[in-house]
Amino acid sequence: MFLLLAIVLLFLAYIYTTRNHDYWIKRGVKHDTPLPLFGNHFRNVFAIKSLTAIANEMYKKYPDEKVVGYFTGVTPNLIIRDPDIARDILNVHFDHFYPRGLGRDHKKEPLMGNLFNVDGDTWKLLRARLTPAFTTAKLKAMFPLIIKCAEKLDKLGKDIVNKGGDFDARELMARFTTEFIGACGFGIEMDTINNENSMFREIGKNVFKRSLRDVFLFGIWELFPEVRGMVTIMEKDGENVFIDLITKIFQQRNFKSSGRNDFIDLLLDLAAKGRITGDSIEHKEADGTPKKVEMDMDLNCLIAQVFVFFAAGFETSSSATSYTLLELALNPEIQRKIQDEIDQVLLKHDNKLCYDSVAEMTLLDKAFKESMRLFPSVATLHRDCAKQYTIKELGLTIDPGVKIIIPIQALQTDEKYFDNPDVFMIDRVIKEDATRQKYIYMPFGEGPRSCIGARLGQMQSLAGLAAVLHKFSVEPGKKTQRKLKINHRLNVIQGVVDGIPLKLKLRDK
């Protein structure tokens, strides 16, 4: 009897954990055979392969397909290989794909109530209210704070040289970007650049560090959508430290702008405008017009936006700038050309970094963008299908709940679009017409959910790179590796194991 019961239970478990695995077979979409319970997601659940690595692998495995199927447990995913389909999903038919589908409950995890994570009307209203915080005028007003942080790199660079020159570019630029976030975000002089053990650097490390506990909980969260409401991933201690810190900063300013022109000031100015109102992206009236919706920017909402400014700002920029330094160390002729341009531009501006001088450094800008092509900080874009949608060129209809993965690193390193795609070339041309180019190269995303802070992140990154390269040169060190060792525990952003070791030298001008 017991054996029979066990067989029945195993059979029912098999049926339950494979119940949707014929989804892509029915629609004629090529895919790897899914496993019971895991689907195709086994390697990611156990941190053997990051989602970026898996998406890149699937992109290359099916070179003749415009889309490829994938399963996270029983949830069907569609990997997009075609730029035109990517354009329709990200922009043209955005109303069908407005959710990112990250699914975190910001009532239980308050810091997840940020612009990157929320969906639907909350996202739409927040995006409309926050967009004015990133205008050119606001960036120029904030730029002196960026320059103050960049200038601190000079002392640290000389200390590194005096100790032999070996350094971790990933750590150096993370300390710079954390310092920047402190000054431009919180109005705090963190001195993270000169203090490798600063509290803020530790907070930054912990935001993207995934322990075995985190890996386990993410696995449960992804494989069993039914229990997501019961799973909280962010550790409460770290969450409370951040919430208490930002609350005190708001209180010190009496919840009013202080005139520093930092992100806290910008948020307080926006919150002072009162309730956010707008047209719903989720709900319509009987006549088909959007319903009117509204929300308040309460304290939890404000803190969540500061959190994503901190987390996304320091991690993506430090990743992009350190990888740029790696490529320049491996390409010294390009590095010298960029340094000559930096010298010439700064001569016109009293040898001082400023918004206008950084904007004139076109070769540095090209090098940064080429680095983002080869190694984008965020290498996959994610959307959820919100309502039934047909990809007309394929005659393929997908249902609400299907997850979309756009593997931007795979697109950006495809020889179909780039000659010698693995080679660092700052004067590179995409082999496509202008209307498709931005859906082949999109390190900051595209469409209404593209990165709202892209220009700020780029200007901050260029300022940091210019500050380093004006005074120093980078070279390969004894431990430098051309091919980085990827941290497969990370999914949202790309991380590397053992940093990016390089050698720093004073320039001989």
Structure tokens at 134: 């990133």
Quick one: tokens of 62?
Answer: 């099916």
Q: Label residue 198 by pLDDT band (50, 70, 90).
A: low
CA gap 489, 211 in Å, rounded:
8
Nearest Cα to Cα of residue 310 among 178, 199, 462: 178
The DSSP element (H or E) to which 475 belongs, if any, is strand 472-476
Q: Are 264 and 185 in contact (CB under 8 A)?
A: yes
Binding-site residue ranges: 451
Average pLDDT over residues 353-379: 95
CA distances from 509 to 172, 239, 343, 465 (A): 23, 48, 10, 18
Please state the rounded mean pLDDT for residues 282-296: 91
C-alpha 290/C-alpha 280 separation (Å) is 5
Question: Where residue 196 falls among pLDDT bands split at 50, 70, 90?
Answer: low
Instruction: For the sheet with 75-80, list strands across it.
Output: 67-72, 75-80, 403-406, 381-384
Residue with tokens 């959710």: 99
3-class SS at 46? coil
Instruction: Specify the residue for token string 């679009």.
Output: 417
Residue-level pLDDT at 190:
65
Is residue 335 scored above 70 in pLDDT?
Answer: yes
pLDDT, residue 28, reads 97
Which parts of 349-471 are beta strand (E)? 381-384, 389-391, 396-398, 403-406
Q: Could you tell me how many helices (H) and strands (E) the chain has, helices first?
A: 20, 11
Binding residues for heme: 451
Compute the distance between CA of residue 461 and CA of residue 376 in angstroms, rounded to an integer. 14
The rounded distance, in Å, linking the Cα atoms of 281 and 99 is 10
Q: How far apart are CA 297 and CA 304, in angstroms?
A: 10
Q: Which residues of 226-250 are buried (b: 16+ CB within 10 A; e: fewer)?
A: eeeeebbbbeeeebeebbebbeebb
Mean pLDDT of the region 471-485: 93
Sign of dihedral through CA atoms 344, 345, 346, 348?
positive
Q: Cα–Cα distance between 410 and 97 in angstroms, integer?
A: 21
> pLDDT at position 372, please?
96
Measure CA 260 to chain center. 27
Sorted by sequence, the CB contacts under 8 Å of residue 328 that are 6+ apart come out as: 334, 335, 338, 367, 469, 474
pLDDT confidence tier of residue 151, bands split at 50, 70 and 90: confident
Candidates 99, 59, 66; CA nearest to 83 is 66
Report residue 174's pLDDT band, with 50, 70 and 90 as the boundaries: confident
**Lowest-confidence pick of 178-187, 250-259, 369-378:** 178-187
Alpha helical stretches, state H, 234-298:
236-252, 263-271
State phi, psi for 403 to the nearest 5 degrees. Answer: -95, 140
Burial letters 319-329, b for 16+ CB under 10 A, else e: bbbbbbbbbbb
Side-chain-side CA neighbours of residue 307 (13 Å): 29
Please choose, from the candidates 145, 127, 18, the residue with its C-alpha nearest in 3D space to the C-alpha of residue 449. 127
181: tokens are: 């976030």
Is the pLDDT score of 338 beyond 70?
yes
Token readout for 219 is 């696995």
Give me the pLDDT at residue 420, please.
94
End-to-end CA distance of the chain: 86
Measure the CA angle with vertex 465, ends 323 and 307; round to 5°. Answer: 75
Residue 255 phi/psi, 5-degree rounding, is 55, 30
CA dist., res. 266 & res. 72, Å (int) = 39
Give Cα separations from 33 to 18, 56, 201, 404 (angstroms).
11, 17, 43, 18
Mean pLDDT across 71-97: 97
**Under CATH, what is the fold of the domain 2-506?**
Cytochrome p450 (1.10.630)
| Residue 135: band (very low, low, confident or very high) from pLDDT cuts 50, 70, 90 | confident
Rounded to two decimals, what is the model's pTM? 0.93
d(CA 204, CA 493): 13
